[in-house]
Structure 1
Amino acid sequence: MPMLLIQGKFRLKGTEPDGDTVHFVADNPNDWTLVGGKHPVHAVNGDAPLRLEGIDALETHYGGEHQPLQFGHAAAAELLTWLGFNSMERDSKEKVTASTPETTPGYILTGGGDIHNRAVALAGRGAPPATGGTAVTVDVPLLRQTANHHMASLGLVYPTFYTSLFRDLREELTKVAQSARTAGQGLWPQDVTTTGFKVTALSTITDDVVILPKLFRRLVDYFDLGMSVSCFPAYLAGKEDTLTVLSTGERLVGLHHVVTVTNGHSIRMTHPVEDLLFDEG
């Protein structure tokens, strides 16, 4: 899978990093113009927000809400430690006010941006495997050198796939995520995405249960409307997320095809997340 390699440094101050997002400053800001597909937004100095490809960490700040923070914070701490940060300080709104060191060297491999204008990327630390500003064929051995693979292997994030990621890389992330699940690592012992959970209040998903962040985000947006849980499938149908069930090849429009609500309050997904391939959008 060819991706553009950009060399630079990771930084934290003034940002709100979590287990799958962090800021990156390109050594050569012009490298951003070489990114194919949707160009991520970047500052004149080459600074741009990243979303790590193929993984999704529990939300620490989404729409003013969060998922159980011990898992979101654990993912963020592991990612930033892996990237080379020794310590950091945050304010009450999760914004970093100081870090040691201020930046760490690294590189990213990207094929484009997402709908939020972030670069969707694999993140590596230290010296890059090729020259910045060049296209690199990303295979499984190179994937294994990235933060994305590291986070999935520890069970601290959910594998979450979009069509931008090639099959061999998806299969590798699936393999290590399933191994972490089997070993009871990270968030997996508490995950109830497919076993189901009873929703009694917003606090159910912010404080009590561990579920797929994509499902959490849809629920937070839905609760803002003040409607009962029983109508959640109709809301999902209206959102028109487009996805493919990898095990069957079935193309679906709307998460209501893979999310059920029973007894007016109990929610579960009918497929494990690694069996779903989402269209970006």
Structure 2
Amino acid sequence: MSTSAMSTSTIERVGPHDRFADYCLWDYEPRGPAAGKLRSSTLLWTFLEMTGADPFVRDCCEAMRRTLGPFKTVWGIKERFGHFSYEFYFYDYERLERTTSIERVLGGLSPFVSSNLTVSPQRPYFMFSLDIDDRTIATRRIDELSLYIGNPTNSVSSGICYNVTAEAIRLDNLYYFFDREREIADIRAKIACSAHLDLRNFDLDAILWPDMMDCGIVVVANKKFNDGVYFARLPFDGFERFVRKVGFPPDYAGFISEHSGELDHMLYDVGIDYISTESGIKIVKSAIYGLL
């Protein structure tokens, strides 16, 4: 699909006051002139249009942006066995003095979804996320979200993720952030230290993909049912390779390649979840991220 064939509501271009930030909402300088090029939100709108997503998804996206303002919401498109869903991340590193709260976001979404979730404002979370998937579309409800708490250590930056429902708050995932250039030995060691891996079939290159290793940050996650690796601040070439390598639609990958000259000013964040099987490492989920 060429730019001229896209609907005008799908195209968003960089303006003079645009913000560039990764999926942790940490700012970065664009990789060269950006004015007039495509925003990362165009990648989300294009995906929704190409896949015929329910208009409800975009309605919710627009409500999030109206509520918080532009460049405050991180979007994620997640692929699992050929099926796609969406996750949205909200940050406020002020914690107890935050302005981006769960109540504010759910309030902004209230014309489209209902929810009875509440979290005390005294909980020191710096981030939360919510999913929009087939269940959300069918029920018009949000019955769970993910809550992220800091995990201070002297050695490596890390965070703890909890699953929040009306009934309970449960430990979900642990995340560890590494500088790709300076801490490669620690990255390798952390990946290998997992209850989900069978080291007899351990192929590090099947997890720590060599063609993704020009990223700036590698995040290693220990999860309930599998592990995950995220390649953050990846140049465009790596992002383009990733989308073609995992289960995203060929037409979407083609759109990205066709518009490389309008997308190469940004850094990208991508990730995989994986398990160890008798035949080796199996990818069970892939995801790409951007700013709304």
Q: Give TM-score, length-normalised by structure 2.
A: 0.24
